[in-house]
Amino acid sequence: MKISSLATLTGTFLLIAGGAIAAVSLTAEISNARTHANNAANAPTIEAVHTHMHHAINCLVGPKGEGFDAAQMNPCANAGNGAIPDQTDAAKKAKLEDAKTILMKGLTENDVKAAQRSAATAVTAIAAAM
């Protein structure tokens, strides 16, 4: 009887812990995306702005997502499948999608100030999804 109760308790704990781990991973993905978008907004050169934009996009979309660039660092490699695919709240997911769109547009900009503004706008969109 005690073994059965212990097994049930252990299973319940693992289920709860597993849910907590998933939540922490999504939080990490969103936080890392925001950090790299902010780094892009403050980077001194267009190359650095674009590099950090790639990092933020990789965190947002995950390795199977549209816009993922395997040639760029993925700061969220061990955090989950990407903030957008991992997000279940529709309103927050929409904000993350907005941020991705803004960052993708920013990658096409060659003017450092314009690209920085795009990155700063993406930071705001990501923050709204936190």
pLDDT for 4 equals 45
C-alpha span between 117 and 130 (Å, rounded): 20
Q: Which residue has the tokens 């993925």?
A: 74
pLDDT in tens, 80-126: 899 999 999 999 999 999 999 999 999 999 999 999 999 999 999 99
C-alpha span between 56 and 103 (Å, rounded): 8
C-alpha span between 98 and 19 (Å, rounded): 27
pLDDT in tens, 53-69: 999 999 999 999 999 99
* Residue 40: CB atoms within 10 Å: 27
